[in-house]
């Protein structure tokens, strides 16, 4: 496509170069145009008309501007030099009514510089716009990758962690009580089924241009999440009004990840409290357990993902030990903040 755009400019440049030289020869004689002989011109022709001179100069200047703006440097430089050379030659040797030779040459040179500078300015502006567009596209791709990474961690890791915990428990009790170990297998199978379903949902989301399906009943989904977590959870959900879909989805993911972390790290917890409530302008959530206190940076991506998700929504996030367990809190605005 770029080559097709350049070709008319190159053809026009060659034609104009030849035309200016031929007209110069018609006005002052080809021998004089080629510096073979000296002396006055061959006589008046209609090419001496000032209207023609202005039109011819305008076309040359437009071609210089177009080359400086559009064509690659390796094409633009020789094309512009050729046009400047033949135009300055004509300005010097052709007779002028109101300008001396020096004035005509100087005027054309100034106009050439102005047109070339204008074309270069437009070229630089377009390159700047292209660079900004490329940077914006890269940011969008990066955000999409981060979102997919969070979804993989929040959704799939939640189910896989449950399967792993149950499988480890089954191994521990298998030596003493095989029946009890076998009784845990349906839970592992159910966790695998849920993980597969979550993966299928993510694939469908990606095929639908990333339009992630949000929860339709946040209160029910939160209670179901607590019941199926495998932890001694006491849930208190007070949502007196609907929240926007992406916010409800984030609340669900935050609670899910907090319960996953509790199941992985606070395996000795005897109490986990989930509290989600609505104020006039915020959704407040907290998940606290009384299990073993673990370091704030355990090497995983759970806390990082939760913090990123909250900050993207314009909220505040905290996770850390309480002295008797671990606390995760978040404040999420009901409306998007500019």
Q: List phi, psi (to 5°) of 184.
A: -80, -15
The answer to whether residue 38 scores a pLDDT higher than 80 is: no
Q: Burial letters for 271-296: b for 16+ Cβ neighbours within 10 Å, e otherwise? A: ebbbbbebeeebbbbbbbbbbebeee
Confidence of residue 301 (pLDDT cuts 50, 70, 90): low
Higher pLDDT, 38 or 244: 244
The answer to whether residue 156 scores a pLDDT higher than 90 is: no
pLDDT of residue 213: 47
Sorted by sequence, the CB contacts under 8 Å of residue 48 that are 6+ apart come out as 27, 95
Sorted by sequence, the CB contacts under 8 Å of residue 260 that are 6+ apart come out as 154, 157, 158, 161, 302
The answer to whether residue 34 scores a pLDDT higher than 70 is: no
pLDDT of residue 161: 73
| Bridge partners for 193 per DSSP | none
The answer to whether residue 9 scores a pLDDT higher than 80 is: yes
Q: List phi, psi (to 5°) of 316.
A: -125, 145
Instruction: Write the pLDDT tens digit of every residue in 173-193.
Output: 877 877 777 887 887 777 777
170 with 185: CB under 8 angstroms?
yes
Continuous H helices in the chain:
2-28, 30-33, 50-70, 73-93, 101-151, 157-174, 178-183, 185-207, 218-227, 245-265, 302-312
Instruction: Write the pLDDT tens digit of every residue in 52-97.
Output: 888 888 999 999 999 999 888 888 899 999 999 999 988 888 877 7
Confidence of residue 304 (pLDDT cuts 50, 70, 90): confident
- What is the sign, positive or negative, of the torsion defined by CA atoms of 63, 65, 66, 72? positive
Higher pLDDT, 30 or 65: 65
Task: Give the chain's length.
Answer: 338
- Enter the tokens of residue 90: 């004509």
Q: Is the pTM of this model over 0.85?
A: no
- What is the sign, positive or negative, of the torsion defined by CA atoms of 247, 251, 252, 253? positive
Give the range among 76-85, 156-165, 167-176 with minimum mean pLDDT.
156-165
283 with 324: CB under 8 angstroms?
no
pLDDT of residue 210: 45
- Enter the tokens of residue 335: 């409306």
First vs last C-alpha separation in the chain = 41
Structure-token match 């135009």, residue found:
87
Closest C-alpha among 70, 65, 78, 74 to residue 17: 78
Higher pLDDT, 172 or 67: 67
Average pLDDT value for residue range 225-251: 85
Average pLDDT value for residue range 113-142: 85
At residue 240, the 3 state secondary structure works out as: coil
pLDDT of residue 318: 92
Instruction: Write the pLDDT tens digit of every residue in 248-287.
Output: 888 988 898 888 888 888 778 889 999 999 998 899 999 9
CA–CA gap between residue 228 and residue 108 (Å, rounded) = 83
Closest C-alpha among 197, 215, 209 to residue 254: 215
Average pLDDT value for residue range 20-43: 66
259 with 326: CB under 8 angstroms?
no
Average pLDDT value for residue range 224-229: 86
């Amino acid at each position: 496509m770029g080559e097709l755009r350049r070709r008319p400019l190159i053809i026009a440049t060659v034609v104009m170069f030849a035309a200016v030289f031929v007209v110069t020869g018609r006005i002052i004689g080809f021998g004089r145009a080629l510096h073979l002989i000296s002396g006055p011109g061959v006589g008046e022709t209609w090419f001496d008309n000032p209207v023609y001179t202005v039109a011819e100069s305008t076309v040359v200047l437009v071609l210089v501007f177009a080359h400086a703006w559009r064509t690659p440097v390796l094409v633009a430089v020789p094309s512009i030099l050729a046009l400047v050379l033949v135009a300055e030659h004509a300005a010097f040797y052709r007779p002028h009514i109101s300008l001396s030779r020096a004035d005509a040459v100087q005027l054309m040179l100034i106009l050439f510089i102005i047109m070339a500078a204008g074309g270069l300015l437009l070229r630089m502006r377009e390159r700047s716009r292209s660079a900004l567009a490329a940077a914006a596209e890269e940011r969008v791709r990066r955000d999409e990758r981060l979102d997919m990474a969070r979804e993989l961690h929040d959704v799939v890791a939640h189910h896989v962690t449950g399967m792993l915990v149950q499988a480890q428990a089954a191994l521990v009790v298998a030596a003493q009580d095989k029946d009890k170990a076998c009784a845990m297998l349906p839970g592992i199978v159910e966790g695998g089924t849920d993980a597969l379903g979550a993966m299928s949902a993510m694939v469908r989301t990606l095929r639908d241009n990333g339009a992630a399906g949000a929860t339709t009943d946040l209160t029910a989904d939160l209670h179901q999440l607590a019941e199926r977590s495998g932890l001694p959870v006491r849930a208190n959900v007070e949502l007196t009004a609907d929240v926007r879909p992406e916010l409800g989805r984030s609340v669900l993911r935050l609670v899910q990840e907090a319960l996953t972390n509790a199941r992985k790290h606070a395996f000795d917890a005897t109490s986990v409290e989930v509290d989600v409530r609505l104020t006039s302008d915020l959704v407040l959530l907290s998940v606290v357990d009384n299990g073993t206190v673990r370091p704030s940076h355990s090497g995983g991506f759970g806390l990082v993902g939760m913090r990123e998700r909250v900050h993207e929504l314009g909220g505040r996030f905290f996770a850390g030990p309480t002295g008797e367990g671990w606390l995760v809190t978040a404040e999420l605005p009901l409306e998007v903040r500019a």
